[in-house]
Each structure stands twice: as C-alpha cells, then as structure tokens.
Amino acid sequence: MKKIKVLIVLLLSCLFIIGCANQRILERIGLVTLVGYDVAEENKVTATSVIRQINPELQSKVEVQSETESTSKGTRVKVDMKTSKKLAAGQMRVLLFGEDLAKKGIEEAIHTTMMNNEISTSIYLAVVKGSSKSLLEYPYKDVTDVGQHIYNLIDHNIKQQHTVSSTLHEVVRDNYSEVRNFALPILHKKGEFIEIDGVAFFSHGKMVGSLPAGDNFYILMMQDNFKESTLELVLDGESIDASKFQEKQLQIAVDSVKTKRSIKVVDPELNEFDLNIDFKCRLLEINSLVPINDPKLVEKMEKAVNQKIENEVSRILEYSQEINSDIYGFGEQYRAHVRGGKLTDQKWREKFREMKVNINVDVEIIRNGVFE
Amino acid sequence: MKSALQISNDQKISSSLFFFVVTAAQIGVGIHGFQRVVVKNAGNDAWISVILASLFAHIVVFIMIRTLALYPSNDLYGIHLDIFGKYFGGILNFTYVLYCTFAFYSVIRNYIEVINTWVFPNLSQSFIAAALLILVIYAFTGGLRVLVGVCFFSFMTGLWILIILFMPLEYAHYNHILPILGNDLKSIFKGAYSMTFTIVGFEIINTLYPFAKEKKKVQKYVHLALLFTLFIYLSVILVSLVYFSEAQIERTLWATLTLFTVIKLPFIERVEIIIICFWMIIILPNLCLFSWAAYRGVKRFKSINETTFIWIFSIFIFFANIPIQTRTEIDQMNNFFAKIAFYIVFIYPFLLYIMASLKSVLRKGGSKE
Amino acid sequence: MFRGPKKNVTNTNEQQNKKEPDKVPIPPSQTEFLSKLKETIHSPADLVVKYISETVTITFLDFLIDGKTLNEQILPTLEKVINTSPKVIKESLLIAEVDLVAELNQGILEMLIGAVLIHVEGHSELVIAKISSYQSRGLSAPENESQVIGSQVGFNENIATNISLIRRYITNPNLCNEKFTVGKDTRTSLSVLYIDGIAAEEHVNTVRQRISDLDILDLLDSAVLSELIDDNSISMFPQFLLTERPDRFCDGLLSGKVGIVVNGSSMAILCPYSFIEFFQSREDQNLRWPIATFIRLLRFSAILISIFFTPIYVAALTFHYEVIPQPLLVPLSESRAIVPFPPIVEALVLELIIELLREAGARLPTKVGQTIGIVGGIVLGTAAVQAGITSNILIIIIALCALSSFTTPNYLMGNVIRILRFPVIILAGFWGFLGIMLAFCFIMIHLLRQSSLGAPYMAPIYPPRWKDWSDSFVRLPLPLIRRQSVNSRETHTIQNTNDSFAKEEKVIE
C-alpha cells in the first residue's frame, strides 16, 4: 500500500514538475509541404515554402512564402516571422531545386535535409527548369494546393515508371556511393500547367546534363527491371513487308509487361560490359492495315523495335558517358563482380568514360489486345 | 560449497522460458545503429562479421553453461566465492555488479538519446529516466516471475516489427552484398568485435541458470535464442546492406531507424516514430534483467531487501544520467562499455572455466584421499 | 465502514459476543419462555404466538413460514397430542425437518430462518419444525449475460434454488457443498461448491481459509465477497468471475474451479479465473469453432481498440503530425479547425459524455434508458460538432471505442476496459506515443503481477502453457481442446479426459 502511494506521488510529481513535451497540435501549425531552393546572390539561397494552414474561416489555405538567407534554417526562421503559425516540416513531401542551384551543387541541401529527423527519407526531389520560386508562386487556375499537386504529379509518374525514381533515400544512397550517380526529374511550368520535362543527370551533387522526357523510357529500362510504362515508337516503314504497307513510317505503341535488365562484366581488363535487356511487351496501338496475325511480320516488327531500342539506348549511354554520370549501376556491378577492384571514385570516373558496352535487346511481343 | 543457493521449487522458471529471456536480453538499444560500426570495419561483408560474432557467442555460452554445470546450484557470484575465496572472489563479484550496472545505464542512456533525437527534442531527460525507472521498479518488486514475464511479453509483442523490417526491400540493390569476402579476414574479425555492444546480454544465464527447472534443457534453449537473435541481426544487416550504400551507412547514426522512415502504410506514415516509442517494451527486459543480475550480486555482500535495493539502484542511475549529455560523450561511453563487455563476456568465461574445472579436479582428488 | 475494518468496532462486537453466553437454557415455564423470547428478539410485530393448549405454545415469525404446512400438518398433530413431551411431538410430526433444541438462542436463530418453535410447559426443550418458505422471484433469463444460443436460465436470489439448479446440471456424487455463515449482523449463508477430484485441493483450501478468516459485520452480495477474498483488492482488475448463468458456473466447476453461491445474491463466484477467461463467453462453446474463433479474436482486438484508439488520436494530433498520411491530413485538420480545445480536452470531454450517458441509461428504467441513449447520442453528438466543440472524426472514434468496450462478455471486466482508457488518454495528451507506451508497459506489468487464488492471472499466455492456447485467443474444434483447464484441474484427470476422447473416436470408427 505504502509502496503504491509512493509510486503515485512520484509519478504525479514527475508529471507536474517536469512538465509535458512540446505540443505540435495539428491545426495550430503551418505544415510545410514543399520547399524549393534557388540560388541567390552572395552564396545565399532563396527558399520558397508551400505552407498549408488551417483557418477556421477559410477551411484550409495554402500560402507560398519565400526568403533569402545563407542557411536553409535561417530562411525558415525568416519565413516563421511572416506566418501566423509555427512551421513544421514533418509533412514535407517534395524538395525542388532551381536549375542554377542544381548546376552549382545540391549536396549541402541534401545533407541538411538528411540531418533533420523531422523529414522522412521518402520525400521526392526534383529539378525545376528556371527557378523554383517562379514555378511555385504562379497562381495556377486549376490547382488549389501547389504542394500537393506537385507531389501527386511526381508520385504517380514514378509509380507508373514514367520518370526516374528520386526519393531522398535513393538520392542520398547514390550520392554517397562512390560508383553511382543519381538523376532527378525536371519540372517545367508550361502555361497553366506543370509538367515533367525530362531527366537531369547529376555527378557529385552537381547537375551535369539533361535529356528530354521522351528518353525516360530508355533510361528506366537501363536502370532496373521494370513493369509498366508505355513506349511510342516510330519504325521505319521499310522494316515491314512493303507489299501490304506502303507508308514510310509506322507508328506503334507498346506497353511493357515484364522487362529484365542485366549488366554483366565481360572483361574487367578491357573494361567491357554486356547490357542485356529482355523486353516482353504487349502491343497497344498500330496502324489498322498491318496484319498482326502474321508471325513473320511480327518477327520482323520485333526486330525493328529491337534495332530502334538498341540505337536509342546506345545514344543515351554515350551521352551519359560523355557527361560522366553513371546512373545505371555499371559501377556497382563492376565492384560486385571484380574482386580486389578497390574501385575509388576517381578510378571509376575514368573507367566509366571509356567503358565499352555491348547492348543486346531482346524484344518479344507477347500480347496484342483483344481485336486484331 | 557453502555459497550454494537455496531455491524453492515455485521460484524456479521453466527452461523453455530461457529462450525468451535470452532473446529479450540480447536485443536492446544496440540494434538501432550497429550497422555503422560493423560496416566501417568489415564493409559489405558485415553480415559475415555478424555470423562470426554470433558463432563466438555460441561458444561462450557453451563454456558458460559447462562452468555453471560444474556446480549443482550456484550462480557466477557463488562460483567466484568458491574458487577465489571471500576477498578476491568478492572483488570479482563487485566488478560483475558494476558491469551489470554499467550495462543498465548504457541501455537507458542510449534510449533516452534516441527519444530526444527523433521524437521529443525538448522532453526532459530526467522525465524519461524517471518514467522508465518507475516501470523497472514496479516490475522488479514483482519478483523473478514478473521479470521473466516482461521478457516473454516483450518478445511476443515485438514480433510485428520483423514484418515491417522487410518492407524497405522495395529499394534494394542486391549487388551491394557482392563480392562476398571482398574484405580481408582481419577487418571482418574487427567487424565481429565491434558487434560486442549489440550482441551482449546472454551473460544473464550466469545468474539465472540456478533458477531453471530442468537444467539440462537450458543449453538447448539458450542456443536456440542465440540462433533467433542471429536471424534478427542478420536480417537487419542484410536489409541495411542492400538498402543503403556503404558510405551512407557509415554516415547514418541509427541505420535501423532510418531504414524505417521510408515505409508508408495506408493508415500510418513514419513508422519509425511509433517503433521508437514501442522500443520501450523491448528495452524494459534489458533493464529488468541487468538490475536483477546486479541485485543477485549485491545480495552476496549484504543481505538486502529487493525493494530497498531497486530504489537505491534507481536513484543512483537517475542521478548518473545527468553528467553525460552530448553525443560524443555517449559514443565514448558506448565504446568503453563495449571494450569492458568484450573482456567480461567473451574472454573471462574461458578463464573461469579453466579455474573451475581445475578446482573440481582438485576437490575430487582431495575427497579420494 | 460496515465491513468493520476499524478496530474498535470489531472489538466491541467481539465483546458483545462474548458477553452473550452461548447457552441460554430454555425456561420450562410458558410465560417466562415467552417473555425471554420477546426480550431477545425485541418483540417484533410479525411474531406470532399461538396457544394450542394449556401446555403447548407455538411461536413463529409470520411470512417466513409455509402457512399451508402449518395448518395442515402441525396444528392438527398438536391438537391430537395433549400433555406430552417434546420428544413425542417431534416423533409425531410428519415433517422432514424437525429437531429438538435445548438452547434458546439456537432456537431463535432457527426461527429467524423460518421455523416454528413448539414449547411444552415444564420442559426445557424446544421442538423446532423447519417449514420455512421463501418469497423469491421465479427463474428468469440472465439479463447481464445474455446469449443467443444456449440455456436461458439465470440464478435468482435464493441459495436453495441456485444449488438445485446446479445439481440439475451436474449429477455427480463428487459435487461437494460446504456451508459457511458469514457476517455477524446478517449471518448470510453461503455455499462453497467444487467437484472433488477435479478441483485442485489447494484452491479449495485457500477458499475455505479465506472465507473463514473473514471478519465482517455484514454481507449482502457476492460481489462484495469476491472483492474481500480475492488476491489483490487494490487492483482494478477483477480476479474472480461473477456470473448469473448456471451453465457457465457449472462449466467452471467441471473444469476444476471452485464456486461460491451466496444467499440473497443472484451472482455466483467462480475462482480462480484468469484474465483471458474473462473475455470468453459460454456461447463460444456452442458455436462452430471457426465462428467462435473469429468472435474471440474480434473481442480481443476490441479491447485494444477500446483502450488505445482514442489515445492514439490524441497523441497523433498533439505531437506526431508526421505519422498522419497525406490523404487523412486535410480532413483531420479541417474537422479540428474550429475546435478551441487541444485534442486531450476534446477527447476527455467526449469520453465523459459517453460515460454519463451510459450511467444515466443504467440507472433509469429500461424504456427511458433507451430514450436517453438515443437523445444523448444523436442530439448531443450532432450539437457538439455543430457548435464546434469537438471534431466529427473524434465522435466516430469515441463511438467506436465505446462500442468495443461493450463486447467484453463480463460486465465487471467491461467496466475496467472502459475506465482504463482515461489514464491512457491523459498520458497520451502529455507525452504522445511515449505516454501510450508507458501506460501499455504499466498495464502489462500490473497484469503480470496479479494472481487469482495464487494462480498466475495471465495464464495460459504467461507462464506459457502452449497446450491451453487451443482454447484461449482462439477456440479450436472440441476434440483438440483439453477440458478448459487454466490454472486448475489436477493432472491425472486430464489424462482421463484425453482417454475418453480417444475412446469416442474409436467408437465412431
């Protein structure tokens, strides 16, 4: 009995003497859902935050605030002074970088974000063509919450494998890895809309190049095994039996069913790799005149698609070798399979530039819809 | 053998419970961030280090139980007194009590640090310490049965985390593990050595062994427990290796927790916050068992009431929390503890076994004459 | 106070007892006898004194005896035998229970239970004819533990009826019945029932001892008795089961528990009882096993929902906004937008309202109670949301919690589950998930510390008795279950039952 009394007294005294933890009641904080960083003069950064606030009258309101300071925390303090509610970054979902900043290097910003325990590692990163401030501050007609809009835009495109996956975790993983680089999707404001407009290649935290959105498919195909994503191809009309189909160009669309990608180190001495892509797809769209029930024709078409993909892949690979950004994992594979390679950052950069890749694409059309 | 323990039958615990006790004692705060130190030493072969460390633990456990089995019913403290006599044995007992106290302290300090970093940056340390200590006192005064019950429930309620653990594999790059044995053996052994802080805890059998109902079966269950913890450590390190890149692990303080941040469940996000709070129930057995082991030792010096002991002990720990504040200090403390634990848990049992078997041979010889 | 824990009260009482000599001889003279009798029982209005003849007098308390037997059996017999001794009267009376008593106080006690005292002039012995009749209500369906399938009869307030009900269920010579009288002022009779050979001897001994150690003034209900003799009276968890179902009671006896039936109380006690068993219903045995298993799992998850759902809401909204997924974020925060209180106050207010409604409903007559429930639930709820005092999402959560807490088959345990929520909400409001975990650990340790008649409370979960798990969280098909045996039943009988199952199976083959 006595013991329990002592316990209760102690517990209660703890309760009142030490007090309670810092409250962060949901509707009394401003939720930062998106932050965009831009370069400003004199080593300073401009941070633009999209803040969702709940007001009793307006139900919910989205505010865009931007401030310039030399550290990102400094900008947050400044923004805090302009908002009616305490800001909290725990619900942040997207981090944007202006193109100029990306070219200057985003390593510091990533490091700051990683250090903050409030922020999840599943947030998305992206580069903005132009400045993120102008992208965020524009009053879009159909978008009420620009933060959520951009998050959903990136999220569903990554899930559908229309663009490279760019969670903070993946970026950090590849950034600190010595043998791999990362890529981010590029966002672009086009009139009243925001669209994903390509892929930015990074090397050592700096943006070194970019490719248009049309190449996404091939990049993803080289990065990993993937499941969905649609490809539109323009084949040479001659690749198909000319007697039945006379036009010069044949446009088809295929949808990946199952794709297997594998990288093999053929010869570490000669710096030679095999890139095998086993592409099983289904036909979505084709000119109605083409008789797709003809096995020979299908085979021909497969070959043509093969050729086309091979060309594109080797073009993209050449480009990334030129800018020296290994976002595909050749280095990882090299390190995994070559013993005692002791691949350092510098060494791999040199090797990657000079490596030779044999691209083998094997396309197989396994389904063609319900109507021939 | 005047130091033998008198333990009545209803105080004893079933041997199968040793499985839960040892598992619960081993898994504590170390698992939050052991990847960092192991990977620093052993690179992508860290998982081999984990297996090696566990293998070594198996050997140590084997020796420990052999030593304890030389005596019909006695714990480490009694063995000390028997072999080394009252004074030197007393010093050894005191060292072991200090070790248990240190282990207790290290667990509670690390947990507070995690809470303060991840969940409540401003929550007073003394509050968390007081709350945890009250729980420990409440469990401790219930007796050994309750302590073992806490271990059992901690094991059973913690199993769901295992499912969550495999969810980050969505982002796995499996070729991170290759090439196997790419690092030299020395660094792999070094990695195994750095597992010490994480893997210790099984030394609880030193004090718990005499309380087993069927002593012959204890060994089986302790080894099973070690296998189970090996499975957990191995899963954690393998998932971490394929999920993170090497350099990233070396920079991540609590890799296991960072691992969880990426998980999004339909009804809840940021699982790591829940897991950290939930971890209280995982470290509770650690605290209970270490304080109990210390109590068994103190009892050899001075017959003291359980309640008095745990209150004094808790007040001591409560005030010991105040001086160590910064991250570096905690790191240093952990390293220091790991060093001590290595000698006490991994090296010393062999010495003790040799001494104990010598003594028993001598005794037999003596009785023959 | 009336239980007499205060020492001075019990002391004076003991002294009184001692002063009152146990044996008062019966005065042979009629007038003296009557005056002494009236003095002892303070000449109540319902005392009937009838002079049969010059020598024979009968006294009894009105309404306590069976008038028919008195008129048809006793009076005619007494008319016939004139000028005789009590012995002759005793032999000539054709009633089952007739006794001779040479001591006044004992005779008075019997009269208070419902006996007729027959005094014969010149003899210092009394004939007592026990023809007591109870005015008790008939058997009715158990109200608090209703079930869909199964018997629909409940205990009533009469110990004799209750024991007869039990004897009808268990026709077994080993069914032991030990009688005790408890309470100095009330002299409540109670019976300890167990089946010899199935119940563990140590449990029976413990119950015997605890009952005979009781030093109380009065005992009006079995619930009080159960609190007085359980292991930890301070804990909020009940350690003994109170049931009004004879089938559940007999089920307990057959699985080796000790039962106590108290006169005047329609609830019987079963002990030892473990935590898990409080969440099992007799009905589970009557349903097919997959359904019973599903319902049991539902009940166990209901406990968790009931205790932890509101605290999780409070914790998430007060401290851990990070864990709320994006699709939920906007509806949650918008529903909270005009609420002026922090979530903990909001939740506590609503929980209190629910408790008030429940209490009001329980105190009012059934029909009015239902109205109160509807009026309170709908009107108050809607009004509270519209007035902006609470958020509508919380209303749903609170309702869910309340609903879950009513799934517990045992009323006492259901109360515990409901009240337990309040401290957890407060802790969650102060320290978020950490507070919830503190509460969780505390409850866990508390449960581990409890025992019921010295047997572990958390059995069969801890200490783990794996074989009994087949009838704990789940209910497996009957042949796979050992006769429900948590904490009881001696080992040799278990083997017997297993054998009997084996035999049955052979017969089927």
pLDDT tens string A179-200 = 888 899 998 888 888 888 889 9
- Contact of C361 with chain A, judged by CB distance below 8 Å, is answered with no
Q: What's residue C441's pLDDT?
A: 93
**How big is the CA angle at C458 (ends C454 and C461), to the nearest 5 degrees?**
130
Chain C neighbours (≥3 Cβ pairs under 8 A) are A, B
Q: Is the residue at C191 inside a domain? A: yes
Written as six digits, the tokens of B174 are 């499996």
Chain A neighbours (≥3 Cβ pairs under 8 A) are B, C
Mean pLDDT of B143-163: 91
Read off the pLDDT of residues A298-335 as tens digits, 9 standing for 90 and up: 788 788 888 888 888 888 888 888 888 888 888 888 88
pLDDT at B58 over 50: yes
Q: Are residues C120 and C210 in the same domain?
A: no
Q: How is A266-277 classified by DSSP, letter by letter? A: EETTTTEEEEEE
Reported as a pLDDT band with limits 50, 70 and 90, residue C41 is confident
pLDDT at A33 over 60: yes
Identify the burial level of A109 via C-beta atoms within 10 angstroms of its C-beta, where 0-12 means exposed, 13-18 middle and 19 or more buried.
buried
Provide the shortest C-alpha distance from residue A3 to chain C (in Å): 12
Q: Are residues C321 and C355 in the same domain?
A: yes
Q: Is the dihedral of CA C348, C429, C442, C444 positive or negative?
A: positive
Read off the pLDDT of residues A128-158 as tens digits, 9 standing for 90 and up: 988 888 888 888 888 888 888 899 899 988 8
Written as six digits, the tokens of A166 are 């760019």
Percentage of chain B beyond pLDDT 70 is 98
Read off the pLDDT of residues C284-299 as tens digits, 9 standing for 90 and up: 888 889 999 999 999 9
- Contact of C431 with chain A, judged by CB distance below 8 Å, is answered with yes
Q: Are residues C306 and C441 in the same domain?
A: yes
Q: Are residues C231 and C155 in the same domain?
A: yes
Q: Which of residues 25-44 of B touch C (CB under 8 A)?
A: none
Can you tell me whether residue A211 is helix, strand or coil?
Answer: strand
Residue that is last in its domain, among C106, C130, C154:
C130
Mean pLDDT of B330-350: 90
Can you tell me whether residue A96 is helix, strand or coil?
Answer: strand
Task: State the best of A121, A273, A334 to mutate against chain B, taking most chain B CBs within 10 Å.
Answer: A121
Partners of residue A21 in chain C, C-beta under 8 Å: 319, 430-432, 434
Identify the burial level of A202 via C-beta atoms within 10 angstroms of its C-beta, where 0-12 means exposed, 13-18 middle and 19 or more buried.
buried
Q: What's residue B268's pLDDT?
A: 86
Q: Are A227 and A165 in contact (CB under 8 A)?
A: no
Q: Is the residue at C46 inside a domain? A: yes
A59 vs B364, higher pLDDT: B364
Q: Are residues C438 and C309 in the same domain?
A: yes
Please tell me the distance from the alpha carbon of residue C399 to that of residue C405, in angstroms, as a whole number. Answer: 10
Read off the pLDDT of residues C234-287 as tens digits, 9 standing for 90 and up: 888 999 999 999 998 998 898 889 999 998 888 999 988 889 989 988 888 888
Identify the burial level of A35 via C-beta atoms within 10 angstroms of its C-beta, where 0-12 means exposed, 13-18 middle and 19 or more buried.
buried
- Contact of B131 with chain A, judged by CB distance below 8 Å, is answered with yes
Read off the pLDDT of residues B98-112 as tens digits, 9 standing for 90 and up: 999 999 999 999 999
Please tell me the distance from the alpha carbon of residue B291 to that of residue B140, in angstroms, as a whole number. Answer: 8
Cross-chain residue pair A151–C338, CB shorter than 8 Å: no
Q: What's residue C15's pLDDT?
A: 44
Closest to A75 (Cα-Cα) out of A106, A112, A107, A111: A112
Angle of helix C392-405 relative to helix C411-449, nearest 10 degrees? 90
- Contact of B257 with chain C, judged by CB distance below 8 Å, is answered with no
Cross-chain residue pair A117–B117, CB shorter than 8 Å: yes
Question: Domain of C49?
Answer: 7-130
Q: Are C253 and C440 in contact (CB under 8 A)?
A: no
The Cβ of residue A233 has, within 10 Å, a number of other Cβ atoms equal to: 16
The Cβ of residue B318 has, within 10 Å, a number of other Cβ atoms equal to: 16
Q: By a Cβ cutoff of 8 Å, what residues of chain A touch chain C?
A: 1, 4, 15, 20-27, 29, 31, 52, 54-56, 59-60, 88, 90-91, 93, 118, 120, 148, 151
- Return the domain boundaries, chain B: 9-358
Q: Are C235 and C273 in contact (CB under 8 A)?
A: no
Nearest to C441 among B13, B128, B135 (CB): B135
- Contact of C429 with chain B, judged by CB distance below 8 Å, is answered with no
Read off the pLDDT of residues B14-23 as tens digits, 9 standing for 90 and up: 888 999 999 9
- Of these ranges, B204-213, C21-30, C113-122, C473-482, the one predicted with the greatest mean pLDDT is B204-213
Cross-chain residue pair A26–C324, CB shorter than 8 Å: yes
pLDDT at C2 over 50: no
pLDDT at C118 over 90: no
Q: Which of residues 324-343 of C touch B (CB under 8 A)?
A: 324-326, 328
Partners of residue A340 in chain B, C-beta under 8 Å: 182
> What does each C-alpha distance from C418 to A46, A244, C11, C375, C376 come to in angstroms?
53, 79, 40, 22, 18
Q: What's residue B293's pLDDT?
A: 92
Q: What's residue C508's pLDDT?
A: 36
Q: Are residues C35 and C171 in the same domain?
A: no
Q: Are residues C411 and C317 in the same domain?
A: yes
Q: What's residue A20's pLDDT?
A: 65
Q: Are A312 and A218 in contact (CB under 8 A)?
A: yes
Q: Are residues C16 and C114 in the same domain?
A: yes
Q: What's residue A58's pLDDT?
A: 56
Q: What's residue A46's pLDDT?
A: 84
| Max Cα distance, chain C (Å) | 100
Question: Tokens 């508390």 appear where?
Answer: C446
Please tell me the distance from the alpha carbon of residue A138 to that of residue A82, in angstroms, as a whole number. Answer: 19
Q: What's residue B21's pLDDT?
A: 93
> Of all helices (H) and strands (E), which one includes residue C101?
strand C98-101
Structural domains in chain A, sorted by start: 22-211 (no CATH), 219-367 (3.30.300.210)
Q: What's residue A281's pLDDT?
A: 82
Mean pLDDT of C176-197: 90
- Domain B9-358: which topology? Amino acid/polyamine transporter I (1.20.1740)
What single DSSP character describes residue C315? H
Residues in a beta bridge with C120: C56
| Max Cα distance, chain A (Å) | 101
Query: What mean pLDDT value characterizes chain A?
Result: 81
Please tell me the distance from the alpha carbon of residue A86 to that of residue C238, in angstroms, as a whole number. Answer: 47
- Paired sense of beta strands A272-285 and A356-367, if any: parallel
Nearest to B175 among A169, A176, A333 (CB): A333
> Of all helices (H) and strands (E), which one includes residue A198?
strand A193-203
- Paired sense of beta strands A124-128 and A94-98, if any: parallel
pLDDT at B204 over 70: yes
B77 vs C54, higher pLDDT: B77
Reported as a pLDDT band with limits 50, 70 and 90, residue C3 is very low
pLDDT at C415 over 70: yes
Written as six digits, the tokens of A209 are 């190049």
Nearest to A56 among C326, C329, C337 (CB): C337
Please tell me the distance from the alpha carbon of residue B18 to that of residue B64, in angstroms, as a whole number. Answer: 14
Cross-chain residue pair A31–C321, CB shorter than 8 Å: yes
- Contact of B275 with chain C, judged by CB distance below 8 Å, is answered with no
> What does each C-alpha distance from C455 to B13, B144, B153, C211, C225 come to in angstroms?
15, 15, 18, 18, 19
Mean pLDDT of A204-212: 87
Read off the pLDDT of residues B32-41 as tens digits, 9 standing for 90 and up: 889 999 998 8
Q: What's residue A101's pLDDT?
A: 87
Read off the pLDDT of residues B172-201 as tens digits, 9 standing for 90 and up: 888 888 888 877 888 889 989 988 888 888
**How big is the CA angle at A321 (ends A318 and A326), to the nearest 5 degrees?**
120
B52 vs A71, higher pLDDT: B52
The Cβ of residue A18 has, within 10 Å, a number of other Cβ atoms equal to: 17
Cross-chain residue pair C337–A91, CB shorter than 8 Å: no
Written as six digits, the tokens of B204 are 């609880």
Q: Are residues C156 and C260 in the same domain?
A: yes
- Of these ranges, B211-220, B359-368, C438-447, the one predicted with the greatest mean pLDDT is C438-447
Identify the burial level of C54 via C-beta atoms within 10 angstroms of its C-beta, where 0-12 means exposed, 13-18 middle and 19 or more buried.
exposed
Partners of residue A151 in chain C, C-beta under 8 Å: 326
Task: State the best of B118, B243, B248, B322 to mutate against chain A, taking most chain A CBs within 10 Å.
Answer: B248
Read off the pLDDT of residues C365-376 as tens digits, 9 standing for 90 and up: 877 777 777 777
Reported as a pLDDT band with limits 50, 70 and 90, residue C7 is very low
Cross-chain residue pair C322–A21, CB shorter than 8 Å: no
Cross-chain residue pair A31–C329, CB shorter than 8 Å: yes
> Of all helices (H) and strands (E), which one includes residue A186?
strand A183-190
pLDDT at C217 over 80: yes
Cross-chain residue pair B277–C436, CB shorter than 8 Å: yes
pLDDT at A272 over 60: yes
Q: What's residue A10's pLDDT?
A: 67
Please tell me the distance from the alpha carbon of residue C228 to that of residue C214, in angstroms, as a whole number. Answer: 8
Mean pLDDT of C145-171: 88
Q: What's residue C261's pLDDT?
A: 93
Q: What's residue A26's pLDDT?
A: 82
Residue type, A227: K
Q: What's residue C30's pLDDT?
A: 83
Task: State the best of B112, B118, B277, B287 to mutate against chain C, taking most chain C CBs within 10 Å.
Answer: B277
Phi, psi dihedrals of residue C116, rounded to the nearest 5°: -100, 130
Q: Are residues C225 and C210 in the same domain?
A: yes
Q: Which long-range contacts (CB under 8 A, 24 or more apart) does B174-178 make?
A: B174/B242, B175/A329, B175/A332, B175/A333, B175/A336, B175/A337, B176/A332, B176/A336, B176/B44, B176/B241, B176/B242, B176/B244, B176/B245, B176/B246, B177/A336, B177/B44, B177/B47, B177/B238, B177/B241, B177/B242, B178/A335, B178/A336, B178/A337, B178/B44
Q: Are residues C157 and C125 in the same domain?
A: no
Cross-chain residue pair B153–C324, CB shorter than 8 Å: no
Partners of residue B179 in chain A, C-beta under 8 Å: 335-339
Identify the burial level of A12 via C-beta atoms within 10 angstroms of its C-beta, where 0-12 means exposed, 13-18 middle and 19 or more buried.
exposed
C96 vs B31, higher pLDDT: B31
pLDDT at A12 over 70: no
Which of B28-40 are b and which e, b meaning 16 or more Cβ less than 10 Å from the residue's Cβ? Answer: bbbbbbbbbbbbb
Please tell me the distance from the alpha carbon of residue A365 to that of residue A295, in angstroms, as a whole number. Answer: 11
Read off the pLDDT of residues B72-95 as tens digits, 9 standing for 90 and up: 788 888 888 888 888 898 999 999
Read off the pLDDT of residues C303-355 as tens digits, 9 standing for 90 and up: 999 999 999 999 999 988 888 888 888 888 888 888 888 899 889 988 888 88
Written as six digits, the tokens of C255 are 């699985």
Choice among C16-25, C42-51, C242-251 with the minimum mean pLDDT? C16-25
Look at chain C and report how many structural domains it folds into: 3
Reported as a pLDDT band with limits 50, 70 and 90, residue C177 is very high
Please tell me the distance from the alpha carbon of residue B200 to that of residue C298, in angstroms, as a whole number. Answer: 39
Give the CA count within 13 Å in the CB-facing half-sphere of A281. Answer: 28
Provide the shortest C-alpha distance from residue C435 to chain A (in Å): 10
